[in-house]
Amino acid sequence: MSRLGFVAFAAFVVFVAVLPTFVSDFKAQQYAYVGIYLIALLGLNVLTGYTGQISLGHGAFMAIGGYTSAILMVGNEQFGGPIGGGVEDFWTIPVAGVVAGLVGLAFGLPALRLSGLYLALATFAIAVAMPSAIKRFADFTGGGTGINLFGKPELTGGLTGVTVLGRQLSFNDWLYYLAWTIALVAFAVAWLILRGRTGRAFRAVRDSETAAVSSGVSLARYKTLAFGISAAYAGVAGALFAVANTYVNPDTFPIALSIFLLVGVVVGGLGGLSGLVFGAIFIEFLPLWAQGEDLGSHLPGFLVDETKKPGGPAIVYGVVLILLMFVLPSGVGGLFRRVGEAFTRRR
Amino acid sequence: MRKTSFSAVVLAVIALAALPGALASPATRAADPGITSTTILLGGTAPLTGPAAAYASVARGAKAYFDSVNAKGGVAGRKIQYKYLDDGYDPAQTVQDTRQLVEQDKAFAIFNTLGTEVNLSIRDYLNAHKIPQLFAASGATTFGRDVAQYPWTIGFQPSYQAEGWVLGQYLAKTKKRGKVGVLFQNDDYGKDLLGGFKRGLQSSGVKVVAAQPYEVTASDVSSQVAKLKASHAGIFAIFATPKFAIQAYVFANRLGWRPAVIDNAVSAASNIMLLASEGGKNKAVEGTVALNFLKDPTDERWKKDPGVRTYRAIMSKYAKGANVNDVYHVYGMAVAYETVSLFKRLGANPTRAGLMAKARSLNDPSNPFLLPGIAVKTGPGDGFPIQQGQLQRWTKGRWAPFGGIWTSKKL
């Protein structure tokens, strides 16, 4: 990273740190979700953007992380399972990352034989099967009723808020700082992985598998590794998602989530990291904006007034997505790159 | 990160800062959230998109009713604003939407949120914050049974267990023996119906020989229907939401299966039945039996009924372009009507606790949108507002009621 890059990253960290002071308590929670989605998108971009493996099943890895976290916190003895629970939410997050990462590695092995669309279909199958699998093992997962975390002692904050470093934080602010601290660390880690030898190998696999093999890059090793890293990121995001939602159930991680994540990566820009923040904002806010929330007074009512035009918001969402892909075919990250190039050329 | 990362991050900072509302000043907490001298804010979520989008009409019907009341001056000088957000039937989205309604929009109560899992996902949160979860649109038994644990939550429609029990009792009383194949949604809603149904069949000659679950996220139920047909069941019980119920009828017909069908109320609206009957071609639909508690606007009997006339008038004025024959609108109006009368009883200074207290002592024998004879009633030890229904049979393109009003035992 150039020195300017460091400065910019530091500026962004400062911005993230002070944002809650300027926004309402509730908005802080929405931005916490942006941080959570950012983590998942960083992981997915390692796999899809850098290594060229399309995954339509990352919601399932988030589900694994979310359930790991929820079960470790509350336990599943109440449903007849073997785990007693009682782990504080914070410590379940790394465990969730490891568990999801291991599942990702295991999935990476059969995925080696699949490429392109076939891999996308195989990963889609996990996303489809995941809700049913969770319900099937109801004595371990609580089935369709799900696991409630709200009001449990293992959930930090909850009703009362939490004191960190002598400062009293509301639950929403706590979620915000928790999510963004992890997101920024995850961002730095992803950058470290991708800048060196491993990142070069990933890109070589993406650009041409034949060329990569002939340069001595082991396809098996790097594809599986990419799957593992990316699933671990999704697991961490899933754990945070469970904590932020204070509730998990099979439908908390629907197929649509997997698709939204892929949309987020494409909007953010494949093969870049900084644009992903926008992918995450897109996932969190566009469904609300399409309903006229936040932007209510800026959008014409006939577009978004649900009672007058049922289905309006869904159409707005679709149209915005299509327009965005027209205007920014390489995502927001691609826009950054083009703007940056224009700057450097002028200098 | 590339060389350009500086401009990238700078842009990110600028854009993030410019997000609408991002720099809004922190809202001050009012003493009485969601209520002003001129307004009452009710919030809720509805599946405007996704697998249960057919139920979106419930929210639209309720909104139309509130709008009509507001046009006449509202309740005690306050207009009832009903703001509902789309959750796509996804509990994670429900949690976020509900928190927005409570924490940002400062809703007085969460009202008419639709779906079983969806309501479960926000129940602990709302109860911990002492915010009414008023008339949750789900028949899951827990919403009426667990009043002691969740005093801030109350349902509305008959519980699924009670409905299943009535359907089971009907079969037990009318048939000496029979084999039933059940299609049910693999969640609390489907399991409650199945559980109540089995209890209704107890010690009768009618037995459940096969029960096939499906996931709400599934694309179709063709394999389940094929398996049920293979079980040689002569009776087909459909405990499924509209989309899947329609598929069940269509697949049964294609497979040449002609069982006697019983259907659950949530999928028994006339418009759904008409879709399932494929313009009268699908004979599997004929003779279906279901339990009902709402006035069906397409029913000739109600042509001159004041309730249905009010309904039609309100729909034509406040929900232009909506399908008036969609009975889910009637459900929405029934629940909105009950809410308006609740607020009328609350008087000049409604509080959240007062609202729940009144909701626990309902006694309305004549909601104009419900079938005559069906009362909305709660009291100590009774957390179920509606516990009655009437059986009806689908005959030649419309529902024909038969027998009297069934009142479910305490379930």
| Highest-pLDDT range among A40-49, B184-193, B280-289 | A40-49
Average pLDDT of chain B to the nearest whole number:
87
CB B5 to CB A294 under 8 A? no
Q: Is A148 on the interface with B (CB under 8 A)?
A: yes
CB A26 to CB B93 under 8 A? no
**Judging by DSSP bridges, how do beta strands B363-364 and B376-377 pair with one another?**
antiparallel
Largest Cα–Cα separation, chain A: 67
Q: Each residue of A234-261: pLDDT tens digit?
A: 999 999 999 999 999 888 888 889 999 9
CB A294 to CB B92 under 8 A? no
On chain B, the residues whose CB falls within 8 A of the CB of A135 are: 186-187, 215
Of A180 and A169, which is predicted with more confidence? A180
Q: How confident is the model at residue B300 (pLDDT cuts 50, 70, 90)?
A: confident
Nearest Cα residue to B411 out of B241, B258, B224, B202: B202
Residues 241-260 of chain A whose Cβ lies under 8 A from any Cβ of chain B: 241, 245-247, 249, 251-257
Q: Is A161 on the interface with B (CB under 8 A)?
A: no
Q: Is A334 on the interface with B (CB under 8 A)?
A: no
Contact between residue A43 and residue A231 where contact means Cβ atoms under 8 Å apart:
yes
On chain B, the residues whose CB falls within 8 A of the CB of A5 are: 1, 3, 5-6, 9
Q: How far is B399 from chain A (nearest CA, A)?
A: 28
Nearest Cα residue to A9 out of B8, B22, B16: B8
pLDDT value at residue A300: 60
Partner-chain residue, chosen from B21, B129, B217, that has the shortest CB–CB distance to A27: B21
Q: How far is A102 from chain B (nearest CA, A)?
A: 25
pLDDT value at residue B15: 41
Q: How confident is the model at residue A303 (pLDDT cuts 50, 70, 90)?
A: low
Q: Is B23 on the interface with A (CB under 8 A)?
A: yes
Partner-chain residue, chosen from B48, B91, B96, that has the shortest CB–CB distance to A313: B48
Residues 328-367 of chain B whose Cβ lies under 8 A from any Cβ of chain A: none
Is residue B4's pLDDT more than 60? no
Percent of chain B whose predicted confidence (pLDDT) is above 70:
91
Instruction: Count CB atoms within 10 A of the CB of residue A78.
Output: 11
Q: Phi-psi region for residue A151, left (φ > 0), alpha (ψ -120 to 50) or beta?
A: left
CB A24 to CB B104 under 8 A? yes
Is residue A220's pLDDT more than 80? yes
Of A21 and B151, which is predicted with more confidence? B151
Q: How far apart are CA B13 and CA B364, in angstroms?
A: 57
Q: How far apart are CA B35 and CA A307, in angstroms?
A: 23
Q: Each residue of A67-93: pLDDT tens digit?
A: 999 999 998 888 887 888 888 888 999
CA B266 and chain centroid, separation: 7
The CA-atom distances, in angstroms, between A345 and each of A339, B3, B234 are 10, 12, 78
Q: How confident is the model at residue A338 (pLDDT cuts 50, 70, 90)?
A: confident
**Judging by DSSP bridges, how do beta strands B260-263 and B289-292 pair with one another?**
parallel
Percent of chain A whose predicted confidence (pLDDT) is above 70:
91
How confident is the model over B174-193, as a mean pLDDT?
91
pLDDT value at residue A308: 58
Q: How far is A13 from chain B (nearest CA, A)?
A: 10
CB A340 to CB B8 under 8 A? yes
Task: List, as one string, the DSSP characters of A58-120.
Answer: HHHHHHHHHHHHHHHHH-SGGGT-S------HHHHHHHHHHHHHHHHHHHHHHHTT--HHHHH
**Judging by DSSP bridges, how do beta strands B109-111 and B133-136 pair with one another?**
parallel
Least confident of A134-143, A297-306, B247-256: A297-306
**Judging by DSSP bridges, how do beta strands B109-111 and A247-248 pair with one another?**
unpaired
Q: Is B21 on the interface with A (CB under 8 A)?
A: yes
Contact between residue A232 and residue A97 where contact means Cβ atoms under 8 Å apart:
yes
Identify any residues that bridge with B185 across adjacent strands, giving them in sequence order.
B214
Q: Is B95 on the interface with A (CB under 8 A)?
A: yes
Q: Each residue of A140-158: pLDDT tens digit?
A: 888 878 888 888 888 887 7
pLDDT value at residue A118: 87
Q: Phi and psi dihedrals of B197, rounded to 5?
A: -60, -45
CA B293 and chain centroid, separation: 12
On chain A, the residues whose CB falls within 8 A of the CB of B99 are: 26, 29
Contact between residue A254 and residue B101 where contact means Cβ atoms under 8 Å apart:
no
CB B215 to CB A131 under 8 A? yes
Nearest chain B residue to A278 by CA distance is B12
Q: Which two tokens stand for residue B57?
A: 């009409």
Nearest Cα residue to B204 out of B177, B181, B164: B177
Is residue B311's pLDDT more than 90? yes
The structure tokens 């649509």 sit at A256
**Judging by DSSP bridges, how do beta strands B153-155 and B178-185 pair with one another?**
unpaired
Residues 172-231 of chain A whose Cβ lies under 8 A from any Cβ of chain B: 172, 191, 195
Q: Is A313 on the interface with B (CB under 8 A)?
A: yes
The structure tokens 């800062």 sit at B17
Q: Is B327 on the interface with A (CB under 8 A)?
A: no
Q: How far is B251 from chain A (nearest CA, A)?
A: 22
Contact between residue B219 and residue A124 where contact means Cβ atoms under 8 Å apart:
no
How confident is the model over A273-289, as a mean pLDDT?
88
Partner-chain residue, chosen from A24, A159, A310, that has the shortest CB–CB distance to B56: A310
| ipTM > 0.85 for the complex | no
pLDDT value at residue B376: 93
Q: How far is B288 from chain A (nearest CA, A)?
A: 29
CB A340 to CB B4 under 8 A? yes
Nearest chain A residue to B20 by CA distance is A294
The CA-atom distances, in angstroms, between A17 and each of A23, A95, A123, B35 are 12, 26, 36, 34
Q: Output the CA torsion sign for A42, A47, A49, A51.
A: positive
